Amino acid sequence: MLYTYVNQALETRVNQHIRAQEVRVIGPDGENFGVLPLGEALTKARELDLDLIEISPLAVPPVAKIMEYGKFQYEQEKKRREIKAKSHITETKSVQVKIGTGENDMNLKAKRAAEWLSEGHRVRVDLFLWGRYKYMEFEFLKERLERFLKMIPAEFKLGEPIAKSPKGLSTIVERASKK
C-alpha cells in the first residue's frame, strides 16, 4: 500500500487530474496568485491558454504552476540530465605485480594505472607474494612496491599507506587533487 502512495506522489498531475480541493497557484511569470479552489485555478489557466501543473503534491495545500506542460517536461528532463552528468561513480581498480614481474610488464601495468587515475578511479596496487616470498624482509618488499609506484606516469597520492594484506603488500593510490 505504501508503494502505491509513493508512486502516486511521484506522478505529475495536470489539469483535471489534480485531486486537491485547493491549490497554491503560481503564475507563468512566477507571480503568486495565492490559495485558490481547484475550479478557479483551472479557469485561470484556461484563460491564459496554459496548463495547471501540480509541482509539489505533498505540500499543504499542494502547489500548482500555470505553464505549458511541454515546457515543464523539458525542464524536468534537463534537470535530470544535469544531475546525471554531475554524478561520477568511482571504482577501485586493481593492479597486481609480483616479485619476478618483468620491467616491460610493470611499465604496461603502470600505464594502465595512470589511465584509471586520469579517469578519476582509485587504484589498488598489490604486490602478490606466494610461497617463500611471503617471509622476505618487509623493507625489501616495500621498496619493490615503491619502485612500481614510481613508474606510474600520472600524479597521484597514497590513499592508504603500504601495508601487509592477505595477498602480500598493498596500497591504494588516488588522483592528486587539482589546485
The size of the chain, in residues, is 179
pLDDT (tens place) for every residue of the chain, 179 residues total? 344 334 444 578 898 888 889 999 999 988 999 999 999 999 999 999 999 999 988 888 999 999 999 999 999 999 999 888 877 777 889 999 998 889 999 999 999 999 999 988 999 999 999 888 888 898 999 999 999 999 999 899 998 899 998 889 999 999 887 65
pLDDT for 177 equals 75
pLDDT for 30 equals 87
pLDDT for 111 equals 95
Q: How many CB atoms lie within 10 A of CB 146?
A: 13
Domains, the chain, with CATH or none: 2-84 (3.10.20.80), 92-175 (3.30.110.10)
pLDDT for 176 equals 82
> From CA 15, how far away is CA 108, in angstroms rounded?
62
DSSP 54: E
pLDDT for 10 equals 57
User: For the range 102-110, what are the long-range contacts, defined as Cβ-Cβ under 8 Å and sequence gap of 24 or more?
Assistant: 106/148, 106/151, 107/151, 109/148, 110/148, 110/151, 110/152, 110/153
